[in-house]
Structure 1
Amino acid sequence: MYLTSIARRLSLAVLGLGSMATTAAVAQTTKPAAAATQKGVGLNVANIDPSVKPCEDFFRYASGNWLKNNPIPAAESRWGSFNELADRNNATLRSILNDAAKDAAKAPKGSNAQKVGDFYASAMDSAAIDAAGLKYLQPHLNRIAAIKDLGEMQRFLADPKAHAGSVWYGFYVGQDEKISTQYAVQMGQGGLSLPDRDYYLKDDARSKAIRAAYDTYLVNTFKMLGDNEATAKTNAAAVTRIETRLAKASKSRVDLRDPYANYNKMTLAQADAAYPNLALPLTLKENGLAAAKEVIIGQPDFLKEVSTMLKEEPIADQKQYLRFHLVSSVVSALPKTFVDENFRFAQTLTGAKKQQPRWKRTLGATDRALGEAFGQIYVQKAFSPAAKARAKEMIENLRVAYADRIKATDWMSEATKKEALTKLNAFVVKIGYPDKWKDYSALNVSRESYLNNLLSAREWASKDQISKFGKPIDRNEWGMTPPTVNAYYNPPMNEIVFPAGILQPPFYDPKADDAVNYGGIGAVIGHEMTHGFDDQGRQYDSKGNLRDWWTKEDADKFNAKADIVGKQYDAFMPLDSVHVNGKLTMGENLADLGGLTIAYAAFKKTPQAKAGKTIDGFTPEQRFFLGYAQIWRNNSRPEALRQQVQTDPHSPGEFRTNGPLMNMPEFFEAFGCKDGSKMMRPTAERSKIW
């Protein structure tokens, strides 16, 4: 998982030696040796498909029976280990929320318990939401309708209390990537409804079908707002035209991975001159940022186009764009007809057959709105201090192993090694939950209206973020909530973060042997550490500043090794004619390869690895790789796979399993792989970085 201050988006960056006789037996028979004398924990060998040879397709060998026995639930677009853990977690979270909703009236007004309980209860009360209709939305629609000219549009967009969802561009206060001790006002591309700019621009059959479904969604949404058929079609066409124009001005997801190209600092006067119709002085003033003298622009050409559009596009059309974005951003708080229409369109994108139950959607909304208030209750009931201590121990073991690998590299100069070790030792580690919780005292929540609660939470979050400007960097802040089943690395903070939610089976099991845990959470830890040294993260120094600390020769050698990985993943094809994008997924692929390599090196120092005893008939090293494979097992719908390949920096689970292993001699040795086997790349085609 990777946290970047450029886009403030999270993405999963999602996330022993035995006898040769035993190794040969497994490689040849593809099942545990009959001589096994110890039963293992944390690894269910029944998930293994013995009909598949581990050296031909380790993903299907390690998880083949699981894949057969775990079809995708109707309400999901994919199903895997992350989903299984999240589902178990959700049972605990749902119980907490149900209790909070029952007890909210007895809780002190303004307390976290009252706010969490009332927020969840208001979101679950679908009868009240249906009965209210557009009552609570109408004042916001009326405000948009009242806009008459560019000046009024600028005042609307500048007002932090105005609501229209995510429109035109991104605006936030975040860490300055070249001066990591300061916050800065930042702006970048945004304003699209479809998952990526290419959905508007490609002319293949799949893209055309999605755009047709989107048009239907737009038209039907406008009709539910009271427009007649002809007007709804006209308004839908206006939204599509505006968003397509924004898409054409947007950078690709690959281009967005270049931190230098997306860092363009200007004085306020320069930015105002470059983008005169954005009314930046007014926007800063209305948001309490009048003291700001500089702005960091992510994508200058995009903002130039937005400035032009605000003047060129008819105000009437711009209002329809705002109107739709407002509705689509709060659809969960609107009557069932809006929710159902939204889901019908979502089905085209994801392939889901059934809508998720309301409690699950509401649980997610509560976590997003009141994550740390909710998280406090969660960790008190569901997080073991022992899990935190064990994770800390493993992290330090991996840090030592990483240092050893850096020192041993034969392609990196001493000067770059020194800087790399300084950065590694400076990693800040966060485990479980924040040391200091967010203060929600300024947020008002009641049972009167879920939509009002949703908008109030949105206003509170925006104000909370804006208020950072001019203050010291808050190094206690988290980018994920405690129940989240994920992890991340944040380059400007130079920190690795592991929420309580992920410190559970199959990623971490306190009852399991070290092999399984190092293959699971150990590889996740190594993955996040490696993000500090992947093609993006390596451009930040030990203090989190965007600074080139590599010698040119070392950078060239690194890039050559990374290019090999890029070509490897370009060749992977999850669906007919659909290839993984090696450049888009570069950072995650490098983190998988590096993380697994470091986790294995750390594991080899454990007593289990040194003893070499078999469990369930598998050597410690074999259990390590099986432990790794089980965290990436998943089934995906074709629609979801297509969307993932087009928009997600993470490769599909099959390639997150097989991809790194095809470069690792340690894996070949563990399973007795021979030259010519599919999992064993020829030496010249392998990539070894760490």
Structure 2
Amino acid sequence: MMNKLLYAASFLIIFSACNTNKEYIAGKFIETGYMDSAVKPGDNFFQFINGKWIDTVHIPETESGIGAFDDLYYGTRDRLHALLNSVSKTEQKAGSIEQKVADFYASGMDSAAIEQRGYDPVKPYLQQIDSIKDATGIMAFVNKLEMENSNPLYGQGVSPDEKNSAVNIAIYTQAGIGLPDRDYYFKTDSSTAKVVAAYKNYMKQLFMLTGSDSSKAAIEVAQVYELEKQLASSHKTNVQLRDPQTNYHKMAVADLDKQMPVFAWKNTLSTIGVHADSVNVSQPEYYIKLNQLLQSIPVDVWKSYFKFHVLNDAASALSSDFVNAKFEYAGKALSGQQKLRPRWQRMVVNTDNTLGDALGQLYVKKYFTGDAKQRMLDMVNNLQKAFAKRIDNLDWMSDSTKAVAKDKLNAFLKKIGYTDKWRDYSKVTITSDKYFENLLSCAKNEYQYQVDKIGKPVDKTEWEMSPPTINAYYNPTFNEIVFPAGILQFPFFDPNADDAINYGGIGMVIGHEMTHGFDDEGAQYDKDGNLKNWWSKEDSAKFVAKSKQVIDLYNSYVIIDSIHVNGALTTGENMADIGGVAIAYDAFKMTKQGQDTTRIDGFTPDQRFFISIGQVWREKLKPETMRFYANVDPHSPAMFRVNGPLANFGPFYKAFNVQPGDKMFIPEDKRIKIW
């Protein structure tokens, strides 16, 4: 798929879906039965709020984790399932979004047809691979894949030029590997070794399912893995990828063509429909290495490489032997999931991922109200005011830099619920009996949609998430904060809940996304979305020092066994969590309840605010998933998304009488205060 290359800082990365007693939510808003009174709030607030639940809950075999996000997602998935079943029961007008959504879902649910076809849909690709003779043939094949939005060898995306954010540019990123991250190819610990072994076994299974005997498949696996390892050696680490300045390299296509003649930039871009004199090659080291390997690696090795990656990309749409082979690696080895989810659950997700705006239109029509949007906008505006006041009161920033910061804050583009301009799927052909071909039609449409934007003015009405998505994000090149309809539900938001619950839930999310505009990455962009310094030298140095405090604190947190949080990888999200709590609390104090002391269910308004934060992050993960996230997730684990910010926030100490000697206690002069 075409990479989304924007630095879009989202609220969470991945969550599984499962149903965990969600009836308790509607009335009380706080579930005291899940609290562990044996734990002092000041020792481990996350455990205090969720301890009994963590001790007693069981992660279903079809899941890699369980928690509050999952409850919310499960309900949303049920709604989407009901919508899909509803539109599938009656004949829809040909070409309508209802017809396309219904037939796409039906084609994916037709397991008998999919089983009968086996891997027939990809046989033409395998035949093309067999006909490759040289590097020119390799590039011709990968360029064909690129136009189908499925290219393993180079990562292409389209987004605003980070130094001229009014115009879209083609961006090229490192690619070429099948493991989640370059470090998997070089780490030697036992947990990584198990993942690598499962990956190699998966490769072998795909080769054998398509005709290779065991001996030949073993040779192919060794060759492909070694090629990927060489490609991985040129990759930047996840931490290095977080620096927007060192990942921006706008280069003339003519110069690239001279430097990398085998990759043949001019011919490649012309073939795939990219008409541009210059492009942004984010990680040039990868493309230099790729150009070398296209010359030095035997063509037969490249053929094995493409055979695996074509099969891997298509596996989920093929017969069950391919689906199961992929699950053994991606499900069991990477995440600890024990059973494959039912087909209908997978197809709900795939329909949303593939026809997001079509399904999204049906979703918001039935489930999202204008009242919810207005209530949310009011909260966003309140937090924006609270943030402005916090900037005014900063004791470490000069007045001149404060003025620019507030200009950027006030320039935020606010998007709530769903897009005002739905995507056009008129060129997408969907039938009820050809799932693979439906996916291909959608992929080609997505590719053309993206490529058509190159060199044109940026359309800031675009959204990067579909309406039912349970997430939120900040995009620095748009300078926007975005909250899809999916996240505007309990435990984040409920129109019947008191302000303490909503400000501790969705309020913290709003503050989190706002702070992303001023975290260690977002702060490098100006109010117009350009990668441009707006800091004084002195203020910048103070900000970097405060960022280092965040890194050091989170480096000290242990995830599992001897694995610590990677403070450098998670810096931006941690800063956004710390800022998000503080800004949400200040906005909450502007409300009537925030200025009151009346208890509800035995808790003060401030206590309810902090409890809401703890409930939002209720989560229990499989050990495999925890290790996986530690490698690739820029977010800290749930416990530290609660305890880290609260340990640095004075009102929390007062609300729960946190004292010296408590495990979360940090002396006031050592607490991190940035925004």
Q: Report the TM-score when normalising by structure 2.
A: 0.96
For the residues of structure 2 that align with 1:620 and 1:441, how far apart are their CA atoms? 51
Q: Which amino acid aligns with 1:51?
A: A
Does structure 1 residue 74 correspond to structure 2 residue 58?
A: no
Alignment: residue pair count: 661
**Alpha-carbon displacement from aligned partner over 1:42-63 (angstroms, at most 9, x marks no partner):** 2222222212111111001111
What displacement does 1:9 show? 7.0
Q: For residue 466 of structure 2, give the secondary structure of its aligned residue in structure 1.
A: coil
2:33 is matched with which residue?
46
Decide whether aligned partners of structure 1 residues 5 and 369 sit closer, same or farther in structure 2, where only a CA change above 3 A counts. closer
Q: For residue 558 of structure 2, give the secondary structure of its aligned residue in structure 1.
A: coil
Q: Which amino acid aligns with 2:279?
A: V
Decide whether aligned partners of structure 1 residues 162 and 600 sit closer, same or farther in structure 2, where only a CA change above 3 A counts. closer
1:336 is matched with which residue?
320
Kindly indicate whether the alpha-carbon contact (under 8 Å) linking 2:10 and 2:513 is maintained by their aligned counterparts in 1. Answer: no
Of residues 214, 220, 225, the one that matches 2:205 is 220
2:482 is matched with which residue?
497
For the residues of structure 1 that align with 2:658 and 2:338, how far apart are their CA atoms? 41
Decide whether aligned partners of structure 1 residues 162 and 405 sit closer, same or farther in structure 2, where only a CA change above 3 A counts. closer
Q: Which amino acid aligns with 1:142?
A: Q
2:19 is matched with which residue?
none
For the residues of structure 2 that align with 1:285 and 1:174, how far apart are their CA atoms? 19
2:164 is matched with which residue?
179
1:254 is matched with which residue?
239
For the residues of structure 1 that align with 2:347 and 2:180, how far apart are their CA atoms? 22
Q: Which amino acid aligns with 1:322?
A: F
1:152 is matched with which residue?
137
Of residues 293, 314, 319, the one that matches 2:298 is 314
Q: How does 1:55-134 map to 2 (within 5 A)?
A: 55-103=42-90, 106-134=91-119
Kindly indicate whether the alpha-carbon contact (under 8 Å) linking 1:48 and 1:64 is maintained by their aligned counterparts in 2. Answer: yes
For the residues of structure 2 that align with 1:316 and 1:395, how far apart are their CA atoms? 57
Kindly indicate whether the alpha-carbon contact (under 8 Å) linking 1:41 and 1:513 is maintained by their aligned counterparts in 2. Answer: no
Kindly indicate whether the alpha-carbon contact (under 8 Å) linking 2:414 and 2:482 is maintained by their aligned counterparts in 1. Answer: yes
1:506 is matched with which residue?
491
Decide whether aligned partners of structure 1 residues 543 and 162 sit closer, same or farther in structure 2, where only a CA change above 3 A counts. closer
Of residues 409, 420, 425, the one that matches 1:440 is 425
For the residues of structure 1 that align with 2:313 and 2:534, how far apart are their CA atoms? 42
Q: For residue 427 of structure 2, give the secondary structure of its aligned residue in structure 1.
A: coil
Q: Which amino acid aligns with 2:71?
A: E
1:624 is matched with which residue?
609
Q: For residue 411 of structure 1, give the secondary structure of its aligned residue in structure 2.
A: coil
1:303 is matched with which residue?
287
1:606 is matched with which residue?
591
Q: Which amino acid aligns with 2:95?
A: G
What displacement does 1:5 show? 9.0
1:281 is matched with which residue?
266
Q: For residue 667 of structure 1, give the secondary structure of its aligned residue in structure 2.
A: helix
**Alpha-carbon displacement from aligned partner over 1:458-479 (angstroms, at most 9, x marks no partner):** 1111111001113221111100
Q: How does 1:23-34 map to 2 (within 5 A)?
A: none
1:559 is matched with which residue?
544
Q: Which moved more, 1:201-210 or 1:572-581?
A: 201-210
Q: For residue 180 of structure 1, give the secondary structure of its aligned residue in structure 2.
A: strand
For the residues of structure 1 that align with 2:260 and 2:669, how far apart are their CA atoms? 51
**Aligned-residue CA RMSD (Å):** 1.6
For the residues of structure 1 that align with 2:32 and 2:372, how far apart are their CA atoms? 24
What displacement does 1:12 show? 3.6
**Alpha-carbon displacement from aligned partner over 1:159-190 (angstroms, at most 9, x marks no partner):** 36765934122112221011000011111101
Decide whether aligned partners of structure 1 residues 361 and 221 sit closer, same or farther in structure 2, where only a CA change above 3 A counts. same
For the residues of structure 1 that align with 2:252 and 2:524, how far apart are their CA atoms? 25
Kindly indicate whether the alpha-carbon contact (under 8 Å) linking 2:239 and 2:569 is maintained by their aligned counterparts in 1. Answer: yes
Q: Which amino acid aligns with 1:517?
A: N
Of residues 657, 668, 674, the one that matches 2:642 is 657
Does structure 1 residue 293 correspond to structure 2 residue 277?
A: yes
Does structure 1 residue 542 correspond to structure 2 residue 527?
A: yes
Does structure 1 residue 323 correspond to structure 2 residue 307?
A: yes
1:647 is matched with which residue?
632
Q: How does 1:674-685 map to 2 (within 5 A)?
A: 674-685=659-670
Q: Which moved more, 1:358-367 or 1:524-533?
A: 358-367
Does structure 1 residue 594 correspond to structure 2 residue 579?
A: yes
What displacement does 1:68 show? 2.9
What displacement does 1:120 show? 0.6
For the residues of structure 1 that align with 2:162 and 2:72, how far apart are their CA atoms? 34
For the residues of structure 2 that align with 1:409 and 1:247, how far apart are their CA atoms? 43
**Alpha-carbon displacement from aligned partner over 1:516-563 (angstroms, at most 9, x marks no partner):** 100000000000000000000000000000000001111111111111
Kindly indicate whether the alpha-carbon contact (under 8 Å) linking 1:5 and 1:175 is maintained by their aligned counterparts in 2. Answer: no
For the residues of structure 2 that align with 1:637 and 1:425, how far apart are their CA atoms? 41
Q: Which moved more, 1:529-538 or 1:222-231?
A: 222-231
1:142 is matched with which residue?
127
2:456 is matched with which residue?
471
**Alpha-carbon displacement from aligned partner over 1:110-131 (angstroms, at most 9, x marks no partner):** 1111111111111111111000
For the residues of structure 2 that align with 1:11 and 1:348, how far apart are their CA atoms? 27
Of residues 427, 440, 463, the one that matches 1:455 is 440
Q: Which amino acid aligns with 1:14?
A: L
For the residues of structure 1 that align with 2:607 and 2:561, how far apart are their CA atoms? 32
For the residues of structure 1 that align with 2:296 and 2:315, how far apart are their CA atoms? 29
Kindly indicate whether the alpha-carbon contact (under 8 Å) linking 2:142 and 2:151 is maintained by their aligned counterparts in 1. Answer: no
2:5 is matched with which residue?
7
What displacement does 1:572 show? 0.3
Q: Which amino acid aligns with 1:181?
A: A
Does structure 1 residue 519 correspond to structure 2 residue 504?
A: yes
For the residues of structure 2 that align with 1:608 and 1:40, how far apart are their CA atoms? 18
Does structure 1 residue 425 correspond to structure 2 residue 423?
A: no
Q: For residue 139 of structure 1, give the secondary structure of its aligned residue in structure 2.
A: helix
What displacement does 1:158 show? 2.4
Of residues 369, 372, 376, the one that matches 1:384 is 369
Kindly indicate whether the alpha-carbon contact (under 8 Å) linking 1:489 and 1:532 is maintained by their aligned counterparts in 2. Answer: yes
1:408 is matched with which residue?
393
Kindly indicate whether the alpha-carbon contact (under 8 Å) linking 1:564 and 1:686 is maintained by their aligned counterparts in 2. Answer: no
2:22 is matched with which residue?
none
What displacement does 1:610 show? 1.3
For the residues of structure 2 that align with 1:199 and 1:158, how far apart are their CA atoms? 27
What displacement does 1:6 show? 7.5
Kindly indicate whether the alpha-carbon contact (under 8 Å) linking 1:163 and 1:326 is maintained by their aligned counterparts in 2. Answer: no
Decide whether aligned partners of structure 1 residues 481 and 9 sit closer, same or farther in structure 2, where only a CA change above 3 A counts. farther
Q: Which amino acid aligns with 2:61?
A: A
Kindly indicate whether the alpha-carbon contact (under 8 Å) linking 2:67 and 2:620 is maintained by their aligned counterparts in 1. Answer: yes
2:20 is matched with which residue?
none
Kindly indicate whether the alpha-carbon contact (under 8 Å) linking 1:271 and 1:295 is maintained by their aligned counterparts in 2. Answer: no
For the residues of structure 2 that align with 1:641 and 1:159, how far apart are their CA atoms? 37
Q: For residue 137 of structure 1, give the secondary structure of its aligned residue in structure 2.
A: helix
What displacement does 1:13 show? 4.6
Q: Which moved more, 1:171-180 or 1:389-398?
A: 171-180
Of residues 188, 196, 203, the one that matches 1:203 is 188
Q: For residue 497 of structure 1, give the secondary structure of its aligned residue in structure 2.
A: strand
Kindly indicate whether the alpha-carbon contact (under 8 Å) linking 1:564 and 1:685 is maintained by their aligned counterparts in 2. Answer: no
**Alpha-carbon displacement from aligned partner over 1:612-632 (angstroms, at most 9, x marks no partner):** 101011100000000011111
Q: Which amino acid aligns with 1:41?
A: K
**Alpha-carbon displacement from aligned partner over 1:191-245 (angstroms, at most 9, x marks no partner):** 2111111111111112122111111111111000111112111111121011111
For the residues of structure 1 that align with 2:50 and 2:441, how far apart are their CA atoms? 45
Q: For residue 679 of structure 1, give the secondary structure of its aligned residue in structure 2.
A: coil
Percent identity over paired residues: 45
**Alpha-carbon displacement from aligned partner over 1:430-456 (angstroms, at most 9, x marks no partner):** 001000000000111112311111122
Kindly indicate whether the alpha-carbon contact (under 8 Å) linking 1:13 and 1:587 is maintained by their aligned counterparts in 2. Answer: no
